[in-house]
Each structure stands twice: as structure tokens, then as C-alpha cells.
Chains A and B, each alone.
Chain A
């Protein structure tokens, strides 16, 4: 126990925990909008698509710089989103197949670049591998500062435009009618999603970051019908998952952080599914009998 307390009081751990709370909260918050827009899986594709971006930046500049990685990740993430929409628009391919095509091809190409890096550059690729599943234990203070700052900006932006985002998702026609630039707010939301994916991949990894956008809001949905409360609750669920997952990961011996955070969120989802006050299975069963 004292060992555990010792570990908790170390400055690095505290930074990592702080980062995971803010990241979890921000992704839960954004996730609520994404869920209502029915774009959950686009977030997944975007996350997978960041891998080639990160690798390409490393090949071009041959330095391990987190800000540069994030720029590369954002570029390919946005490109993937654009391609998904372009394929649907210009051919008979449906959205789900289009997402699958873009996701798997981008990720496959990312793996190609990753192996190219291993074989052709002097530097080892450790640090790049962590982008696949996330490794909180390997992060240093400056990484956390990027995550915390990025998440904080995302939280503030979505709080500022909360009403506008809400109207343009729920009723785009009405929003246009009262003069809101709906396409601008769609763009802002897309930017926020790219932002959270990009700052989150270091901690959660590209394969599972989408879960942080999908699971918390889905769990929150079982407790309330109001978007404001749902977004806040979803943020809290994300934050709790972040902390608990990171704690287990850093305390355990090299357990991957991302999957643990996701599992925590899944457990909360399961509890909500059963016991949720609004639409939980038990409440439903009681009502129908």
C-alpha cells in the first residue's frame, strides 16, 4: 500500500493522471456531438488514418518531435475524412464500405511506412510503436502538457459554441433559418474531433481512441435525455475511465494504457445499460411488467 502511495505522489504520475482526466473529459464531451451526428465510426477511421501521417513526418524530418507528429496526424486524419465523403459522393459505394476502405488502406500504408522506418533510418522506432496502443508510462511531462493544453482548448471551444453546435446538429434547417452558418459549425466539430484524436493517440493509441468518442456518450445516454447533461456526464465518464485505466496501466507492469482505459469505459457502459435511470434494461423491464 505504501508503495502505491509513493507511486501516486511521484510528480510524473500526477501529471499523467491529470492528462488522462482532461483528455477523457474532452473526448466524452465531443463524443456526445459525434454520437448525435451518427458519425461514430468516422472517428475510428480518422484515428487509424493518423498513423501514416505520423510516420511520414518522421521520415521527412527524421526527428521525434511531438508537435510535428501531431501536425502530420491531423493532415492525414482530415484527408481520410474528406476521402470517405468523396467516395460516397462520386460513386455507388455506401458510407460503411467507404469508411472501411479508407480505414484499412490508410492503416496498412501506415504499417508500410513504420516498417520502412525500422529498416532504413538509424534511429529506432520506439516511440512510434506507442502510437498504436498508447503507453502512458512512457510519457514525459512535455507530452502531457500537449495533451492537457489541447484537450483544454477543445473543451473551451465546445463550451463556447455549445448552443450553436446543438442546434446545427439537431435541426440544421432551423439553424439555417435563423442565420447560423451550419457548414461552418460542421467544420468546427470536425476540427474538434481531429483535435481530440490527435492529442489522444499518444495515450490511448490509434486503434482504440475512437472508443473514447463512442462509449462514454453512449453510457451517458442511459441516464438523461438532455444534451447538456448528457455531454457533461459523458465527459465525467470519460475522465473516470481515463484515470482508472491509466492508474492500472502505470501500476501494472507495462500493460497497454489504451485498452485499459477503453475497458473501464466499457464497464461503465455495461452498468449504465443495465441500471440506467432513463432507458436502462432493468427500468424498462420493471415498467413493462
Chain B
């Protein structure tokens, strides 16, 4: 496969992985918790590096999952001790992120881990970092990692489809019929952390946040059906990657920044043009109503 094909594939995988997970977060009104986790995961990555002294994928996933769940737990603890939830999110993620950034600056320059990289990612280098098993070149590591996480996320969603759906729309009912609501909450947080860390290396923190929140929000404007929204969100994520990559090549700018901007562009289109919830459709309906009166 050619160089740019690998980049496009990576971008689309990020879009689908984060898009599907993100749609759940948007529905559960936890978008800002996703923002928080995608920042604090940096601490998990740095921590994993300090412990193992290598930039290996598996310890990083574990570190990220620990810090991701820790973020959710800390926010929850502050929230239930009487701190309003947005401030609780704010104080937890800025603290952990700041700690991660300070720790990174202690790590020497010879290690391929710095703040710039963590924020913006280096998707352009993805095709060179390949996975080789028994001397066979299997393609970029990032593609394998993203593919694995995507598979994991989709199987979790398919397996627990009903439970996730009920606990999203009616937590009280879910609790009363014995659905493990708390378990699903933290399972979801783990999925977010995994998606984040798998995407982190290639696209950086900013794009992860954009991919988690924006496609889900766009899909929320397009449909009222739960399953449809998850699919649409993944599709929009992948589409943003394609549009963004095109833009980045055209103007010779940061790929992850351009993809984040593309998610914004698609969101604007949905916001204006969605047949049911779009601004223009609403305006026409209002106009019609006035005429019929």
C-alpha cells in the first residue's frame, strides 16, 4: 500500500473508533468527560514510559486505561462531595494534564515523546513505524493498534447493546431491572481511554477530542435512532478524515488540525441542513406553520 493510503486508512480508523464511542458519550451527556480523559491520558502514557522505559503499545494502553478510569473516578468523587460537575472535571483534568506535561519535560530529548507530539500527533510518520513479526512486514503499528481497539469497542457494544442502550436513556429503569449501570459507565470510560491512546500517537490530543465529540454531535442532529446514530457517527468520523486529509495536502498544513477542522465543517453542514433538526428545516417549518395559521 502506498504512503498516503496508509495515512488515510489510519485517519479513517481513528474516525470510526472515536466516532462510535463518542456518540455514546454525547448521548450520555459526558462529552466534557471525554475531553478530560483525552487530556489526562497523556499522564498515563508518560507514566507507562517512566515505568517501562520504552514506548511500547501494551503498557501504554494499560497506563492510559488506569489514568482514564482514575479521571472518571476522581470527577465522580468530587461531584458527590458537592463540587459542581463542570468544575470537578476542570480541576481534575487540568491537574493531571499539567503533571503529565511537567513529567514529559524531564524526559530527555532523545526519546520520541514530547508535548508537541502529544498535542498534534505525527500521522505523517505512521507508515514508517511498522510492525514486524518473524521478519514479515505487517504494515504500520498504529493501524494494528487502532484496528484492535475498534474491534474491541464494537464487540463490547454489540454484546452489551441492550444494556448500554437502556442505561443511556433511562438509568433508573436500567438499575431497577438489574443492569450493572456503574459497571457500564466505567467500561465506557475504559473504551474512551483505549480509543484515545490508540489514536494519540498518530493524531494527538486535539484530534482525539474533536473525533470523540464532533461526529457524535453531528449524528445526533441527523437521527433519533440509537443504532443508526452510532453508525452515522462512525461514518462521519471517517468522512472527516478523508476531507481533512485532502485539505491538509492541498494547503500543506497539519493533518490532524485539518481533520479536526473538517469535523467542524461537517458539523456546520448538519447543523444547517439536517432534514429534521437543522436550522433551515426548522425555519421552513416555522414559516409553514405561520402561513397555515
A211 touches B94 (CB 8 A): yes
In the complex, which residues of chain A have a beta carbon less than 8 angstroms from the beta carbon of B267?
A: 101, 105
Say yes or no for A104: interface residue by CB 8 A criterion. yes
Q: How far is the CB of B280 from chain A (nearest CB, A)?
A: 11
Query: What separation, in Å, do the CA atoms of A281 and B26 have in the docked complex?
Result: 32
The one of B30, B32, B264, B271 in contact with A41, judged by C-beta atoms closer than 8 angstroms, is: B32
Select from chain B the residue with minimum beta-carbon distance to A116. Answer: B253
Query: What separation, in Å, do the CA atoms of A281 and B78 have in the docked complex?
Result: 11
Within 8 A of B (CB), among A104-132: 104-105, 107-116, 119-120, 129, 132
In the complex, which residues of chain B have a beta carbon less than 8 angstroms from the beta carbon of A262?
A: 94-95, 98
Say yes or no for A137: interface residue by CB 8 A criterion. no
Select from chain A the residue with minimum beta-carbon distance to B82. Answer: A279
Within 8 A of B (CB), among A221-256: 221, 254-256
Query: What separation, in Å, do the CA atoms of A186 and B239 have in the docked complex?
Result: 39
B102 touches A101 (CB 8 A): no
Q: Residues 222-266 of chain B: 1 if any A CB is under 8 Å from the residue's CB, otherwise 0?
A: 000000000000000000000000001001111011111101100
Within 8 A of B (CB), among A261-289: 262-263, 266, 269, 279, 281
Say yes or no for A203: interface residue by CB 8 A criterion. no
A103 touches B257 (CB 8 A): no
B87 touches A116 (CB 8 A): no
Given A100-B31, A111-B254, A211-B94, also A218-B102 (CB < 8 A):
no
Q: How far is the CB of A81 from chain B (nearest CB, A)?
A: 15
Select from chain A the residue with minimum beta-carbon distance to B211. Answer: A104
In the complex, which residues of chain A have a beta carbon less than 8 angstroms from the beta carbon of B89?
A: 41
Select from chain B the residue with minimum beta-carbon distance to A104. Answer: B210
B115 touches A133 (CB 8 A): yes
Select from chain A the residue with minimum beta-carbon distance to B92. Answer: A266
In the complex, which residues of chain B have a beta carbon less than 8 angstroms from the beta carbon of A214?
A: 87, 90-91, 94
B98 touches A266 (CB 8 A): yes
Q: How far is the CB of A30 from chain B (nearest CB, A)?
A: 14
In the complex, which residues of chain B have a beta carbon less than 8 angstroms from the beta carbon of A119?
A: 252-253
A100 touches B209 (CB 8 A): yes
B279 touches A100 (CB 8 A): no
Say yes or no for B65: interface residue by CB 8 A criterion. no
Say yes or no for A258: interface residue by CB 8 A criterion. yes
In the complex, which residues of chain A have a beta carbon less than 8 angstroms from the beta carbon of B86?
A: 38-41, 96
In the complex, which residues of chain B have a beta carbon less than 8 angstroms from the beta carbon of A111?
A: 119-120, 206, 254, 256-257, 260
Within 8 A of A (CB), among B138-191: none
B98 touches A263 (CB 8 A): yes
Query: What separation, in Å, do the CA atoms of A120 and B253 have in the docked complex?
Result: 10
A208 touches B94 (CB 8 A): yes
* Most A Cβ at <10 Å: residue of B89, B95, B220: B95
Query: What separation, in Å, do the CA atoms of A218 and B216 have in the docked complex?
Result: 31
A97 touches B279 (CB 8 A): no
* Most B Cβ at <10 Å: residue of A44, A87, A105, A109: A105
Query: What separation, in Å, do the CA atoms of A260 and B224 have in the docked complex?
Result: 45
| Interface size range on B against A | 35 or more
Q: How far is the CB of A33 from chain B (nearest CB, A)?
A: 13
Select from chain B the residue with minimum beta-carbon distance to A31. Answer: B87
Say yes or no for A35: interface residue by CB 8 A criterion. yes
Number of A-B contacts (CB under 8 A): 184
Query: What separation, in Å, do the CA atoms of A91 and B281 have in the docked complex?
Result: 11
The one of A91, A112, A133 in contact with B261, judged by C-beta atoms closer than 8 angstroms, is: A112
Q: How far is the CB of A98 from chain B (nearest CB, A)?
A: 8
B95 touches A211 (CB 8 A): yes
Q: How far is the CB of A125 from chain B (nearest CB, A)?
A: 11
Say yes or no for B9: interface residue by CB 8 A criterion. no
Say yes or no for A207: interface residue by CB 8 A criterion. yes
In the complex, which residues of chain A have a beta carbon less than 8 angstroms from the beta carbon of B110?
A: none
The one of A90, A108, A221, A255 in contact with B206, judged by C-beta atoms closer than 8 angstroms, is: A108
In the complex, which residues of chain B have a beta carbon less than 8 angstroms from the beta carbon of A87?
A: 271
B260 touches A104 (CB 8 A): yes
Say yes or no for B72: interface residue by CB 8 A criterion. no
Query: What separation, in Å, do the CA atoms of A103 and B256 have in the docked complex?
Result: 15
In the complex, which residues of chain B have a beta carbon less than 8 angstroms from the beta carbon of A44?
A: 90
A96 touches B30 (CB 8 A): yes
Query: What separation, in Å, do the CA atoms of A120 and B251 have in the docked complex?
Result: 10
Select from chain A the residue with minimum beta-carbon distance to B83. Answer: A218
Query: What separation, in Å, do the CA atoms of A281 and B81 have in the docked complex?
Result: 9
A residues apposed to B, CB below 8 Å: 35, 38-41, 44, 87, 90-94, 96-101, 103-105, 107-116, 119-120, 129, 132-133, 207-208, 210-211, 214-215, 218, 221, 254-256, 258-260, 262-263, 266, 269, 279, 281
26 contacts between A and B (CB under 8 A): A35-B84, A39-B86, A40-B86, A90-B282, A100-B32, A103-B35, A103-B209, A104-B206, A104-B209, A104-B214, A104-B260, A105-B210, A108-B206, A108-B261, A108-B263, A111-B120, A115-B254, A115-B257, A133-B101, A211-B90, A214-B90, A214-B91, A215-B95, A218-B87, A256-B102, A260-B98
Closest 4 CB pairs of A and B: A108-B260, A105-B264, A111-B257, A211-B94
